[in-house]
Amino acid sequence: MRDPTGIRNPRKRQKMAENRGNIAPPRTANGDHSDPTEDGPLEKRLRYHGNKVTVVLGAQWGDEGKGKVVDMLGTDADVVCRCQGGNNAGHTVVVEGTEYDFHLLPSGIINDKAISVIGNGVVIHLPGLFEEAGKNEAKGLIDWQDRLIISDRAHLVFDFHQAVDGLQELEKGGKSLGTTKKGIGPTYSSKAARSGLRVCDLLADFKVFSDRFKMLVTQYERMFPNLKVDVDKELKRYEDLKERVRPMVKDVVHFLNTQLEGPQKKLLVEGANATMLDIDFGTYPYVTSSNCTVGGVLTGLGIPPRCIGEVYGVAKAYTTRVGDGAFPTELNNELGELLQERGHEFGVTTKRKRRCGWLDLVLLKYADMINGFTAIALTKLDILDVFDELKIGVAYKLDGKKLPNFPANQEMLKQVEVEYCTMPGWKTNTENLRSFHDLPENAQKYVRKIEEVLGVPVRWIGVGAARDSIIKMF
């Protein structure tokens, strides 16, 4: 729903969503409507006013700064959830000068008053989880295991999945997808083929688990003759790991239902990866292996659509991506290098140099069509402080004709010509500013242009790496 200015009104949108359930209650035997104040099970369902989850999603190709936004929103959250992906994701949160890196753990684990949840849609490399926790413990993270819940339905990533990930990339040669080689794709393949192993399998009959593990290894060794797995060693490892993870494992569907239907709680969902890496809607095949869009929240946690509240899209004030694939606004020149240098654009997980380019609003409008953002968190505006002029991609053309939609085909996307809106830079340091009205006029115009084209309000503006380097708009 858009207001007269063309900006989507999040309050009105939320009100409309809440009112969807306000339909007439069922009639009684004499034809009258039952008393709406009598809240039986059916009436409660028809007029759902339970808790809703706030969702934070990447709106570009990842590395947008979702961890910082989740950290900000998670300071007073009761529950913070991961719903998809694995340790191929990487979120960095800076707290009092200490930099925490998270790959499997939700960023909300920093909040010692919140429960962190790893949902069924996540694929988990247990050795990596404990290694990650150990590294963050050394930086000051305490008692994380007491407030972490892991879904019993989540699938397990094994070392041989990671080895296969690398072997598959080698087979592709020059046409590799640039994966993180964390075993995520092969694990989701095992899941789809119904041969994968879940956390609940590990905690049940270990003999059955062992037999299925051996079968899975045999399948992969047949497909990849160079793959060698020490089965006995791996099984011994997992026999030890199962007791370490057991206290954290629960039925997440049931747990979240109690949180949604119970007393007032604040629930937050932290998306991993990003819209343009979504297995269905991203720049396929240069994508990840899960649904990083709002639909993945539902299937990755087992919650119903009516429980979705605000959906915040996180986007940089420019565009980056790691790995291969089409990138219409990429800057293969000194300007791209300047963005890379000022933005410290290296992948948290892969340490690979990120490709950099101008802000692409065609891409962001497409992301909004899929996710229905109620507001945008615009990060790293300060990186643009030194530019004389800036460009924003506002349309794609192919063969001289403006495209009405975002192309699905990679070859077509590589050939598009971007139509830009050129704006003057502000040449002023914005890192210490905390009010929108204190921003240079040209910086304000840059933000307003984004809102105008997207039809979505910008709610937060990031102007630095520190936890408090954020301008709140409303």
Catalytic residues: 63, 91
CA triple 443-448-453, angle to 5 deg: 130
Strand partners, 420: 393
In terms of C-beta distances under 8 Å and separation of at least 24 residues, what long-range contacts does 440-444 make, across chains too? 443/381, 443/384
Name the nearest CA neighbour of 242 among 210, 217, 276, 274: 210
CA distances from 244 to 132, 247, 445 (A): 15, 7, 53
Distance CA(77)–CA(115), nearest Å, equals: 9
Find how far residue 367's CA is from the centre of its chain. Answer: 12
Which ranges of 85-125 would DSSP assign to H, the alpha helix? Answer: none
Residues 6+ apart with CB under 8 A from 221: 227, 228, 229
Q: Are 361 and 394 in contact (CB under 8 A)?
A: yes
CB neighbourhood size of 264 (10 A):
7
Cα 41 to the center of its chain, rounded Å: 34
Helix, strand, or coil here: 368?
helix
- Residue 377 CA to residue 273 CA, distance in Å, equals 16
